[in-house]
């Protein structure tokens, strides 16, 4: 039997800002991208701000309308990355099997021969994140990743939950179907036509019917509603790729503005590469037009790089070659694929010279 812990820090960016400026404690607070007085977008909101209906991805102007007294702080990715790193390092003291899935979320599998129960470890880890780092996190313990993740979201913030072995399906049964990862508004409304609203309702639908309606996704829904998931916790090795993207609040065809945004993304990507200790052989540009048509274009370099200037040159080149001028852009993204460690990069370069 497996024991999987899921960890998700609470209001992460906002909590770090509060930690660094305790005057902000208990104030409605948003961390936002862009100009606080202009067209910013909310990255996250403190729980005090969420009570006003403010949430991630909301235009800042809307947040200010809902909660005029909200404190707005600009995003500082480097600072959050540092705290994320500290939390993940603590998690790795409990098991080598840590899979970080976002800046503030990780699965931790406790090997069966682990002497202490996962619950004890998870409670201790939660306490140490609070005392040694100063952040709050919610932790869930279950027999698989899916149940641990869904359970975690039911007890946020500062929560703790254990789903005992054998109780997975019963635990999920009362929850609405859209608590499942991958069951969004479209799935929800299709199921609603069958009067299927909870995961208990969903588990009672014959799998053949779900498969007929949803294809392969139906098989996933059926298993997930029963709390079944055998996906492994994959210890962090090398990430396949690193990427950053920005959605404009308003679509834009302003070339200077697009180039400025690309430069900013490239600087961020180079910084992430540096921090992760990788160089990239392939640089990717992602471009989404206002009509949602999306292009990804890439170049592969003769030598791997993590330099901001080189990344920027590649991306600008791709942009100049592929952007159709005067077409309004909704989203820009940059990515680094084919990651290598610097020692491997040197080896590759030597092989090329030989
Ligand atoms: P989440 O874990 O989704 O959100 P959270 O930690 O702020 O709040 P909670 O987990 O308690 O619900 O995301 C982690 C961080 O990622 C978040 O603090 C800010 C950033 N983020 C964005 O920048 N944009 C987004 O749309 C989302 C969802 C998160
Ligand atoms: Mg979080």
CA of 260 to the centre of ligand 2 (A): 29
CA of 37 to the centre of ligand 1 (A): 22
Top pLDDT among 36 and 102 is at 102
241-252/329-340 β-pairing:
antiparallel
CA of 284 to the centre of ligand 1 (A): 25
Catalytic annotation, pick one of 78, 93, 99, 105: 105
CB 261: neighbour CB atoms within 10 A?
19
Ligand 1, atom 11, residue with closest C-alpha: 10
Q: Is 105 a catalytic residue?
A: yes
Ligand 1, atom 15, residue with closest C-alpha: 12
Counting other chains too, the contacts that 309-317 makes at CB distance below 8 Å and 24 or more residues apart are 311/266, 311/269, 311/270, 311/273, 311/280, 311/283, 311/336, 312/262, 312/263, 312/266, 312/267, 314/283, 315/262, 315/265, 315/266, 315/283, 315/285, 316/259, 316/262
Helices (H) and strands (E) in the chain, counts: 14, 12
Q: What is the pLDDT of residues 157-198, one digit of tens each?
A: 999 999 999 999 999 999 999 999 999 999 999 999 999 999
Query: What whole-number distance in Å separates Cα of residue 28 and Cα of residue 24?
Result: 8
Ligand 1, atom 28, residue with closest C-alpha: 56
Q: What is the pLDDT of residues 3-33, one digit of tens each?
A: 999 999 999 999 999 999 999 999 999 999 8
CA of 266 to the centre of ligand 1 (A): 22
Query: What whole-number distance in Å separates Cα of residue 268 and Cα of residue 339?
Result: 16
Residue 350: pLDDT band by 50, 70, 90 thresholds? low
Pocket of ligand 1 (CB under 6 A): 8-13, 43-44, 56-57, 103-105, 156-157
Q: Which residues surround ligand 2, an ion (CB under 5 A)?
A: 8-9, 12, 104
Q: What is the pLDDT of residues 90-146, one digit of tens each?
A: 999 999 899 988 889 999 999 877 667 899 999 999 999 999 999 999 999 999 999
Ligand 1, atom 24, residue with closest C-alpha: 43
């Amino acid at each position: 039997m497996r024991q999987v812990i899921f960890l998700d820090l609470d209001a992460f960016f906002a909590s770090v800002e509060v930690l660094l400026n305790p005057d902000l404690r208990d104030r409605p607070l948003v961390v936002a991208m862009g100009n606080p007085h202009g067209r910013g977008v909310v990255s996250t909101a403190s729980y005090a701000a969420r009570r006003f209906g403010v949430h991630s991805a909301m235009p800042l102007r809307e947040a200010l309308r809902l909660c005029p007294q909200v404190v707005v702080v600009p995003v500082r990715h480097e600072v959050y990355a540092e705290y994320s790193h500290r939390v993940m390092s603590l998690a790795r003291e409990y098991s080598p099997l840590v899979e970080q899935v976002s800046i503030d979320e990780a699965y931790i599998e406790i090997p069966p021969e682990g002497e202490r129960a996962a619950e004890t470890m998870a409670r201790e880890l939660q306490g140490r994140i609070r005392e040694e780092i100063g952040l709050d996190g919610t932790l869930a313990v279950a027999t698989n990743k899916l149940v641990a993740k869904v359970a975690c979201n039911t007890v946020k913030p500062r929560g703790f939950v254990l789903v005992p072995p054998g109780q997975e399906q019963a635990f999920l049964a009362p929850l609405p179907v859209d608590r499942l990862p991958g069951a969004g508004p479209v799935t929800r409304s299709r199921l609603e036509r069958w009067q299927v609203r909870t995961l208990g309702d969903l588990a009672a639908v014959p799998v053949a019917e779900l498969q007929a309606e949803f294809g392969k996704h139906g098989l996933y829904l059926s298993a997930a509603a029963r709390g079944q998931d055998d996906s492994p916790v994959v210890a962090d090795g090398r990430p396949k790729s690193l990427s950053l993207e920005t959605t404009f609040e308003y679509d834009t065809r302003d070339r200077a503005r697009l180039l400025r945004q690309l430069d900013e993304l490239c600087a961020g990507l180079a910084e992430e590469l540096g921090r992760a200790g990788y160089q990239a052989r392939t640089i990717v540009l992602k471009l989404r037009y206002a009509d949602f048509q999306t292009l990804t274009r890439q170049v592969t370099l003769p030598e791997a790089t993590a330099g901001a200037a080189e990344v920027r040159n590649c991306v600008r080149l791709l942009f100049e070659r592929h952007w159709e001028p005067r077409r309004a852009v909704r989203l820009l993204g940059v990515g680094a694929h084919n990651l290598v460690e610097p020692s491997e990069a040197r080896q590759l370069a030597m092989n090329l010279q030989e």
